[in-house]
């Protein structure tokens, strides 16, 4: 009986591992069309739907950027989109996929961000995540990463899980950052319903090398493609009356036990591997801004921290993705071996 159970568990494990190579549907959650969940926010003429609203492009040209916002606000859940970023020369261009309630709570808003910062030709898009709670704008919790793939070549899935206990940022099936709520964070942990946004805009003043390289409209329009839209959260009426927590019991229960909320040992390994290879800045190692380490930062790994300057920036930049392309074939074989080793280890447990 125990053996059968183990085999079944191993079988499930295999399915999970295999599914990580598929780009379809975020964690098997239903996708929606643009009109089912979103509405234009600005630059409406630069928002272009296709495939019956399953895909939407947002453009930045010399007249305007553009963006959309969820029609409802959400309290906790899983929010996801597949995104393909503009290619070629994108210095100064910023694409963002994020949650915020800044329009309702001007002074004490909450926010969870994926931000993509464009670059000069041959440079790479950089990605940034951030967390704000109750207006903690003086305590930015930025992290920056390089990407292990070319984000302009094909869509990749970017997801934000937000529960009462944890926040996980995912790229495809890999968790890249986890912020576990702890008491010392207090109001810095996002706690009020938020809208979901996607935007593209001109960040010339800061996005690339601190504003040294500005948007060059010779290369416009800059186009970001969104698809596989998932808004799986507790949906609230924009003018809600009841405290959100009382309306959202069902969703809370479902989310708390969903596969994407559980940080299994295998997922934690994947996350650490990603962070060791691609993280280029973290607020957790930034001793200049935070002489006292932020409360949610895990017990600091001194060896790991040695790889970062006191400013939180990495000392040795990861190798550029272009060169990694050539290694892809070899890596794929290597990944297959890692997956097999993983399965063998799981069977032993
Ligand atoms: C959030 O901020 C408001 C206004 O600044 C403050 O009154 C409130 O106590 C804060 N809430 C938490 C949970 O820290
Ligand atoms: C969420 O967590 C807070 C603080 O840990 C707790 O006071 C609250 O009851 C929790 N809400 C739900 C819906 O679990």
| pLDDT, tens digit, 9 for 90 and up, residues 43-56 | 999 999 999 999 99
**Predicted TM-score of the model (pTM):** 0.84
pLDDT for res 299: 67
Catalytic residue among 44, 106, 111, 296: 111
pLDDT at 16: 30
Which pLDDT belongs to residue 45? 97
Q: Which helix (H) or strand (E) holds 232?
A: strand 222-236
Length of the chain (residues)? 349
Instruction: Give the 3-state secondary structure of residue 7.
Output: helix
Q: How far is it, in rounded angstroms, from Cα 158 to Cα 149? A: 13
Query: Quick check: 238 pLDDT over 90?
Result: no
Q: Decide which of 343 and 41 is more confident.
A: 41
CATH architecture for the domain at 24-318: Sandwich (2.60)
Mean pLDDT value of segment 87-100:
96
Residue 249 pLDDT grade (very low, low, confident, very high; cuts 50, 70, 90): confident
Residue 115 designated active-site:
yes
- Tokens 């109750």 belong to 134
**pLDDT band, very low/low/confident/very high, at 220 (cuts 50, 70, 90):** very high
Atom of ligand 2 nearest to the CA of 245: 13
Out of 36, 44, 49, 115, the active site residue is: 115
**Diameter of the chain measured on Cα atoms:** 67
Determine the Cα–Cα distance for residues 130 and 183; give it in Å rounded to an integer. Answer: 19
Q: What is the pLDDT of residue 35?
A: 97
Residue 80: partners with Cβ closer than 8 Å, 6 or more residues away? 26, 27, 29, 157, 158, 159, 160, 170, 228, 229, 230, 232
Which atom number of ligand 2 is nearest to the Cα of residue 252? Answer: 13
Residue ranges around ligand 1 (CB below 6 Å): 108, 134-135, 186-187
pLDDT at 239 over 90: no
| Most ligand 2 atoms within 8 A of CB, residue of 164, 193, 249 to mutate | 164
- Which one of the ligands is nearest to 181 CA? 2
Asked if the model's pLDDT at residue 298 lies above 60, the reply is yes
Q: Are 313 and 280 in contact (CB under 8 A)?
A: yes
Q: Reply yes or no on whether the pLDDT at 342 is more than 50.
A: no
Residue 267 CB neighbour total at 10 angstroms: 20
For residue range 120-151, list pLDDT tens digits in order. Answer: 988 889 999 999 999 999 999 999 999 999 99
Q: Tell me which ligand sits closest to the C-alpha of residue 248.
A: 2
- How close is the Cα of 187 to the center of ligand 1, in Å? 6
pLDDT tens readout for residues 97-110: 999 999 999 999 99
Average pLDDT over residues 188-198: 96
pLDDT at position 151: 96
What integer best gives the mean pLDDT of the chain? Answer: 85
- Give distance in angstroms: CA of 170 to centre of ligand 2: 23
Rounded to 5°, the CA angle 263-264-268 comes to 70
Q: Where residue 207 falls among pLDDT bands split at 50, 70, 90?
A: confident
Tell me the C-alpha distance between 182 and 73, whole Å. 24
The SS3 call for residue 159 is strand
- Put the strands of the sheet holding 93-100 in their side by side order: 38-42, 66-70, 195-202, 93-100, 111-117, 126-132, 143-145, 279-282
In a mutational test of the pocket of ligand 1, which residue from 104, 108, 139 has the highest number of ligand atoms less than 8 Å from its CB? Answer: 108
Alpha-carbon distance of 39 to 36, in angstroms, equals 9
For residue 178, indicate whether it is catalytic.
no
Atom 11 of ligand 1, nearest CA residue: 187
Q: Determine whether the shortest distance from the Cβ of 184 to ligand 2 is under 6 A.
A: no
For residues 127 and 98, the answer to whether their CB atoms sit within 8 Å is: no
């Amino acid at each position: 009986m125990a053996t059968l159970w183990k085999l079944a568990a191993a079988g499930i494990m295999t399915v999970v591992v295999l599914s990580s190579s598929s780009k379809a549907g975020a964690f098997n959650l239903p996708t929606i069309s643009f009109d089912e969940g979103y509405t234009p926010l600005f630059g409406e003429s630069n928002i272009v739907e296709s495939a019956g609203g399953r895909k939407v492009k947002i453009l930045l040209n010399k007249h305007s950027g553009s963006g959309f916002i969820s029609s409802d606000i959400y309290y906790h859940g899983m929010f996801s989109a597949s995104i393909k970023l503009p290619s070629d020369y994108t210095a100064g261009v910023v694409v963002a996929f994020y949650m915020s309630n800044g329009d309702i709570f001007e002074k004490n808003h909450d926010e969870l961000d994926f931000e993509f910062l464009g670059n000069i030709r041959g440079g790479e898009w950089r990605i940034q995540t951030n967390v704000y709670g109750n207006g903690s704008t003086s305590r930015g919790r930025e992290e920056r990463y390089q990407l292990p793939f070319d984000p302009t070549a094909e869509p990749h899935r970017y997801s934000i899980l937000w529960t009462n206990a944890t926040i996980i940022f995912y790229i495809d099936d890999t968790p890249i950052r986890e912020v576990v709520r702890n008491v010392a964070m207090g109001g810095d942990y996002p706690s009020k319903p938020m809208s979901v946004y996607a935007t593209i805009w001109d960040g010339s003043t800061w996005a690339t090398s601190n504003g040294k390289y500005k948007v060059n409209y010779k290369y416009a329009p800059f186009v970001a493609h969104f698809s596989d839209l998932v808004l799986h959260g507790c949906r609230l009426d924009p003018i809600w009356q009841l405290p959100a927590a009382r309306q959202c019991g069902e969703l809370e229960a479902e989310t708390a036990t969903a596969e994407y909320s559980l940080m299994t040992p295998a997922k934690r390994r994947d996350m650490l591997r990603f962070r060791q290879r691609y993280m280029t800045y973290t607020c957790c190692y930034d001793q200049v801004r935070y002489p006292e380490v932020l409360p949610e930062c895990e017990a600091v790994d001194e060896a790991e921290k040695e790889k970062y300057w006191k400013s939180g920036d990495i000392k040795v930049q990861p190798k550029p993705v272009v060169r990694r392309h050539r290694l892809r074939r070899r890596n794929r074989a290597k990944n297959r071996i890692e997956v097999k080793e993983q399965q063998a280890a799981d069977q032993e447990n």
